[in-house]
Amino acid sequence: MRVSIIGTGYVGLVTGACMAQMGNSVFCVDIDRKKIENLKRGIIPIYEPGLEPMVVENFRLGTLKFTTDIKEAIDNSEICCIAVGTPMGEDGSADLQHVLEAAGDIGKNMSRYIIIVNKSTVPVGTADKVRDVVRSELNKRKVEIPFDVVSNPEFLKEGAAVEDFMRPDRVIVGADNPKALEKIKELYSPFTKSHERFISMDVRSAEMTKYAANAMLATKISFMNEIANICEKVGADVNKVRVGIGSDSRIGYSFIYPGCGYGGSCFPKDVRALERLATENKYAAKMLKAVQEINDSQKLVLAHKVIKKFGKDLSKRIFAVWGLSFKPETDDTREASSIAIIRELIRHGAKIKAYDPKAMNAAKNYYFKGIEGIEYADSKYAALSGADALLLVTEWKEFRSPDFDEIARRLKNKIIFDGRNQYNKEKLNEIGFEYFQIGVGE
């Protein structure tokens, strides 16, 4: 099939590369000329396992093309996917500016029937707005060209996006026209061949499914962190509690690991947007509000443990931080717990020596740009030298089984604050470490 993707960010690039991998002819279009030129040279703007070789190979084969010319992309496609960003507005709602601009561009340039697919995460009712914008542009041109608008939300996990796309748990498609639905089903058939994972529904329900899924996962995280905080108060061990409740098949083990809270580009934005959507429709989403409040406070739990141990004046203290990205296997630091933790420690006068396998450039050049007191180390052990304690914030694989003798040699004090409960408390205590976890009574 001939497919165009408007937007070469995280969703657009993964979608384009994976569609091309299955033999489709794909045009990825973006207004950022530098990004497009870099992509043509094999320079990928994000880190995602497996993505770079897939992009490079399909560009070489000609199945994946990059352009800034929206007309060229639309002229060469029967399906056009909108995969632009929907940043959070000041009121918490999703900003649809880029989605509607893309819709306008489609209306200005389409010359025959086309299926417009909303892949961006958007509020319920967005398909209607896209349809109105396209129709308005066609009216300005005084032409009548049929088109359909379909909702096809993405469910990609950062760090496993390529795998998720190639072997999806489910493909959700909301369509009003059976003809459009069958066309999208055909597009996804190579990805769902071994198991029937294609789920069709009306457009509004498909739009809602994406928000509901992310809100549910965020709720599980905040719930477990709430339990962790109660465990600390009553002297229980949340790690054991997690195993106890996870063994119940109705609950399961996914997303019930206690930690420093959720972050990234999806959960924070989508939970806020869903709460805002509820408010706009005169419903108070109390649970969603609580999920966000718990998460905001959870991001500071590790920093507060440090302050409790070392005091409020940290002006003579240096802390090593392992992990800056919001989760492993990505360079995405948007709304990462590390940002809240490091800023809180610096506010109390501390200096930071940070290390992350992939996210240091983003942190250095954006989130901590201009902030004094942060040094970036070349390796996890280099970050430890001269530090008063180690803070584990992101559970990258290379942090799972470190050399604790080497940690002890480099740290001033044998103290670890573990925001992801990765290590064995008894074993660390046996070799002389003070070890602080989330949700374990001291």
> What are the C-alpha distances in Å from 314 to residues 215, 343, 349, 371?
37, 12, 5, 16
Which class for 151: exposed (0-12), middle (13-18), buried (19 or more C-beta within 10 A)? buried
CA distance 388 to 243: 33
Residues 6+ apart with CB under 8 A from 394: 322, 323, 324, 325, 326, 327, 328, 336, 338, 356, 420
Taking alpha carbons only, the member of 266, 256, 416, 392 closest to residue 328 is: 392
Cβ atoms of 71 and 80 closer than 8 Å: no
Buried-exposed string 56-86: b where 16+ CB fall within 10 A, e elsewhere? bebbeeebbbbbeebeebbeebbbbbbbbbb
Structure tokens belonging to residue 281:
């429709």
Place of tokens 């229980």: 236
Catalytic, out of 28, 80, 231, 266: 266
How do 25-29 and 171-174 pair as beta strands?
A: unpaired
Spatial strand order of the sheet with 374-376 comes to 374-376, 351-355, 318-322, 389-392, 415-418, 434-436
Neighbours of 217 (CB within 10 A): 18
Is 260 a residue of the active site? Answer: no
Name the residues annotated as catalytic: 266
